[in-house]
Chains A and B, each alone.
Chain A
């Protein structure tokens, strides 16, 4: 017998998780689409955002400052990593790109562990968002509700950047054909740097805004990375709408399965991924040739 209140609240949890995954996956997918690099350190970027925010919160006591610092710090890390290492890998085989980003992920995780230890850290939600909000049909933690709003706003912002600005237009053109964009006289080099920064920032931002819900630890990004991969495979690599759809689907699958048995949530994710691979090999909203 299903408990309907529980079911609805799990659906809400799934929506929040799904939006979060959509945001992180968008970062991964625009980096891959534009630069052709699958960033295996993306989970570590999520983790770094959480830690940068946590540190800022400890000094300032302001959640807003923490969010700001988390996002900006990870963007800077992203830009630096792209300039110092990744850009030398554009012409190397995909395998080398995977290896180097995988190694970077480990370096980030272990650096954090070195400075802050393995124990998890908590960032409390801002005072205004503590507590429970009655929604009429159920009570729901206020911060999670706010989180849904925050992430939605971030996704809209990302959408506006991608679809309503000149840079976004170049990025989308680059996803279709970066050689062509280059030959149009656009400085692809700078765009690549920017895209890597923005993509990393999406993960870093998600990392800090999620910190009040799930406390942070050095290896918190690993599970996120795996879920992000499933999202991207379901939605289609290089597709922003695909990341949104895939994120929402994955969020619901994880939450609803968890209601019955959390141990099976990955199995169900995997089943969904397999179904997509069999029925639509390029992902729900993906197109052929982007791999």
Chain B
């Protein structure tokens, strides 16, 4: 995520752009084709931020491409506006504003709904452009006579009107676009966008306003599309109406997928392959209109067999050739790590307990003024699903610094109760007070920002990211708040980020695995990272939903030690079925049964309680007593 080699990619891009006009013609690329590749490549950079980085597949980018292009072309032709660059900028701004408005509607839903809505919206733009607005857009004829850009240097005037000079102009703007995109991708916003792609639910739960970030990505994509649309008109001297067609959106999607999504360069590679093949098939092989059939077949095959596109494929190939050993290395490490902990679990556990980092992982500052009394209070909390009462009338109070366990048979409503406390699920009735503030009806993001978060029963990690990147995302939410548009800030310049991530890493004992992708972690490691994600947001109240589930006895011992070490100065509520481990960990226990509080007390009291034994053993206690 954080490329340490500053400006390497930028420099290579610049060198590549200088070399292209000397190299590509040897492969049969015409100057016009090369220029078109740049326009599509630039169009695609924005789309890749939306699709490759944020995971939002839009089939409606033509709307913004066309809008930006038409606005710029209209200004330059009909209005006789003299400044080409200013017109392009205005086109870009209008496209961004339109993108913002469209995004408000389209982003109400995700996944396939989002795809369908973008298709529909783009079609609306197409029809509006052709019919009601045809007086402005020239309808089927488009807008001819778009002037070429001019650069006044004082002593001389550069006119970009030949293929070669236009190349310089387009290559410059492509480079600018790439530099900006790289900044965005490496910024905190870029990190959050990837988190949204991998696991939107968790990205929201660690405290990011994901709707705001998605809208940001959508507007960025629209801005790139609008600017590229303007360049198209300038390049051709004519703004074609077919910029608005569904085909345009489709071609962009296909080029990006062919090149490789999530790489920023994918669209450029895809456009190169696409435009070259379409020229080659039509002129050299004389295939006429059926070139598109050939490209369609190639595309389907690519999607089937080369999931990550050409760049991804090359990457894999490179990995196979150069570092077959490198690939297996992390797994080897994992093995070593496992063997080590296997040696002596008590040593490992002790190591965690007496870890120096423990003291340096404080809960939120506002908690340190040692408030006494309730940190969390639930008043008459109920949740009904139709006729089913998952929770009824629960009154619950946890003091500052307390460690509370919640137990209860399956179906007792423990998880529902947790979901209400973290605001994932709205209660049917009742109130939740956190640090004296009523948080009922707030979002899970707001609850986390206030200092209340949860580790999930089923791991909710960012699977395509590394351990470090996972923790960075959680830590960012606390350090930056739920929404901030620091698009051009480097992750390295965020005060306290590295510290917080390192501390969490030590605490969850994953320092050795820091650059391993989550998908390669062992189950116990994932489980620790799951807790780590919650911890990295520095919660003052941490809820743990079955942190020990599915673990081996050794992993349990380790995790109990870990939880003990993180509990200092922090309030925790823990659900688990492993009653022995839990009782060792907590100071008091609440027993839920059939959605109600059965009894509360210290572990010792609960162990001896006849009602609890009945609840768990279905009256066996009574039978045993009778005997």
Interface residues of A (CB under 8 A from B): 32, 38, 85, 88, 92, 94-96, 98-100, 102-104, 106-107, 110-111, 113-114, 118, 222-223, 225-226, 229-230, 232-233, 237, 261-267, 269-270, 273-274, 277-278, 281, 291
**Nearest-CB residue, chain A, relative to B134:** A263
Q: Smallest Cβ distance from A34 to chain B, in angstroms?
A: 14
Contact B120 A98 (CB under 8 A): no
Partner among B59, B132, B293 whose Cβ is within 8 Å of the Cβ of A263: B132
A36 to B111, CA, bound (A): 11
Contacting pair B51 A103 (CB below 8 A): no
B293 to A, closest residue via Cβ: A110
Given the known inter-chain contacts A263-B127, A267-B124, A267-B128, please indicate yes or no for A99 contacting B253, CB distance below 8 A.
Answer: yes
Q: Is the CB of A98 within 8 A of B112?
A: yes
* B112 with A38: CB separation less than 8 A: yes
Neighbouring B residues of A88 by C-beta, 8 Å: 304
Contact of A281 among B57, B108, B127, B299 (CB under 8 A): B108
Residue B250 lies at the interface, judged by CB distance under 8 Å to chain A: yes
Residues of B within 8 A of A277 (CB): 105, 108-109, 117
Inter-chain contacts of A100 with B (CB < 8 A):
300, 303-304
B117 touches A226 (CB 8 A): no
Inter-chain pairs besides A106-B296, A118-B289, A278-B105, 12 sampled, C-beta below 8 Å:
A85-B304, A95-B51, A98-B112, A102-B254, A103-B303, A110-B296, A263-B132, A266-B128, A269-B120, A273-B117, A281-B109, A291-B112
Give chain B interface residues in 167-224, CB to chain A under 8 Å: none
Complex Cα gap A230–B304 (Å): 28
Number of B interface residues at 8 Å Cβ cutoff, please give it: 42
Top 7 nearest A-B pairs by Cβ distance?
A263-B131, A110-B293, A106-B296, A229-B116, A103-B300, A38-B112, A107-B296
Neighbouring A residues of B295 by C-beta, 8 Å: 106
In the bound complex, do residue B292 and residue A106 qualify as a contact, i.e. CB atoms below 8 Å apart?
A: yes
Q: Is the interface of B mostly helix, strand, loop or mixed?
A: helix
CA distance A60 to B161 in the complex (A): 59
**Docked complex Cα distance between A253 and B116 (Å):** 19
- Which single member of B111, B132, B246, B299 contacts A94 (CB below 8 Å)? B111
> Which residues of chain B have a CB within 8 Å of any CB of chain A?
51, 55, 57, 59, 105, 108-113, 115-117, 119-121, 123-124, 126-128, 130-132, 246, 250, 253-254, 257, 289-290, 292-293, 295-297, 299-300, 303-304, 307
Task: Name the CB-closest residue of A to B290.
Answer: A114
Q: Across the interface, name the chain A residue whose C-beta is closest to B122.
A: A226
Closest to B294 in A: A110
* Nearest chain A CB to B128 CB, angstrom units: 6
Residues on the B chain within 8 Å of A92, using CB: 307
CB of B562, distance to nearest CB on chain A (Å): 33
Q: Which residues of B contact A232 (CB under 8 A)?
A: 116
Residue of A92, A233, A263 contacting most chain B CB atoms (<10 Å) = A263
> Which residues of A have CB within 8 Å of B115?
38, 98
- Most chain B C-beta atoms within 10 Å of own C-beta, residue among A32, A265, A270: A270
Take A94-B111, A100-B304 as given contacts and tell me if A229 and B290 are in contact as well, using a CB distance cutoff of 8 Å: no
Task: For the complex, give the distance between the alpha carbons of A109 and B128 in Å.
Answer: 25
Residues in B with CB closer than 8 Å to A267 are 124, 127-128, 132
**Which B residues are CB-close (under 8 A) to A269?**
120, 124
Q: By the criterion CB–CB under 8 Å, are B131 and A291 in contact?
A: no
CA distance A229 to B119 in the complex (A): 8
CA distance A99 to B257 in the complex (A): 8
C-alpha gap A266/B130 in the complex (Å): 12
The distance from the CB of A228 to the nearest CB of chain B, in whole angstroms, is 9
Q: Which residues from A are CB-within-8-Å of B297?
A: 107
- List of B residues within 8 angstroms of A103 by Cβ: 254, 296, 299-300, 303
Asked, given contacts A98-B57, A106-B250, whether A270 binds B289 with beta carbons under 8 Å apart, the answer is no
18 contacts between A and B (CB under 8 A): A38-B115, A38-B116, A99-B299, A102-B59, A104-B300, A106-B299, A107-B297, A110-B290, A113-B289, A113-B290, A114-B293, A226-B119, A226-B123, A229-B119, A233-B117, A263-B128, A267-B128, A291-B113
> Smallest distance from the beta carbon of B255 to chain A beta carbons, Å?
12
Q: A278-B108, A281-B108, A291-B110 are contacts. A266–B124 as well, Cβ < 8 Å?
A: yes
Assess whether A291 is in contact with B120, with CB atoms less than 8 Å apart.
no
Assembly CA distance A278 to B116 (angstroms): 16
Question: CA–CA, A110 to B293, complex, Å?
Answer: 5
Shortest Cβ distance from B250 into A: residue:
A102
Among B105, B127, B253, max chain A CB count under 10 A is at B127
Which residues of A have CB within 8 Å of B124? 266-267, 269-270
Min C-beta distance of A72 to chain B, whole Å: 24
Q: How distant is B104 from chain A, measured CB to nearest CB, in Å? A: 9
Nearest to A97 among chain B residues (CB) is B112
A223 to B112, CA, bound (A): 18
Q: Which of A88, A106, A111, A237 has the largest number of chain B CB atoms within 10 A?
A: A106
The CA of A276 and the CA of B130, in the complex, are separated in Å by: 26
Alpha-carbon distance A99/B260, docked complex (angstroms): 13
Asked if A237 meets B253 with Cβ closer than 8 Å, knowing A113-B290, A270-B124, A277-B108, the reply is no
Q: Which residues of A contact B110 (CB under 8 A)?
A: 291
